[in-house]
Amino acid sequence: MAVLLADGLYQVRKRQHPAERDAHGAPIPGPDNATATDPVPGAAVEQPDGSWKLRLDPVWPVRAQDTITTNDGIRTWTVTGIPRLHEVPGVPDVDHVAVQAVLVPPEVDRGYPVRPRNGLEQIVAAMVARKVQAITDEVADVARDNAPPTKTWHTANDKDVRPEHRDANGQEVPANLRFVVDSPDYDQAHYGAPPKQQLRNPRDRDATPGLTENCRCEAIEDPAGLARGIEAHPVEVRGAKVVGRVTSVGPRVSDAEFGTAQDDAARYMGRAVQEVAARHRAR
Tens-digit pLDDT profile for residues 135-169: 999 999 999 999 999 999 999 999 999 999 999 99
Mean pLDDT value of segment 27-36: 61
- Please determine, for residue 221, whether its predicted confidence score (pLDDT) is greater than 90: yes
- Kindly give the pairing relationship between strand 67-70 and strand 35-36: unpaired
DSSP letter assigned to residue 224: T
Q: Do residues 101 and 79 touch, judged by C-beta distance below 8 A?
A: yes
Name the E strands within 108-240: 150-154, 172-174, 179-182, 196-199, 218-222, 230-238
- Please determine, for residue 108, whether its predicted confidence score (pLDDT) is greater than 50: no
- Other C-beta atoms within 10 Å of 235: how many? 21
Hey, which residues does 27 pair with through a beta bridge? 21
pLDDT band at 186 (very low <50, low <70, confident <90, very high): very high
Coil, helix or strand at residue 43: strand
Alpha carbons 168 and 71: distance in angstroms, whole number? 79
Whole-structure pTM value? 0.57
- Please determine, for residue 282, whether its predicted confidence score (pLDDT) is greater than 70: yes
Alpha carbons 232 and 135: distance in angstroms, whole number? 10
In this structure, of 145-154, 178-187, 240-249, the range with the lowest mean pLDDT score is 240-249
Alpha carbons 220 and 225: distance in angstroms, whole number? 11
Mean pLDDT value of segment 117-139: 81
Instruction: Give the best-scoring range by mean pLDDT among 106-120, 127-141, 179-193.
Output: 179-193
Alpha carbons 150 and 148: distance in angstroms, whole number? 7
Return the higher-pLDDT residue of 264 and 71: 264
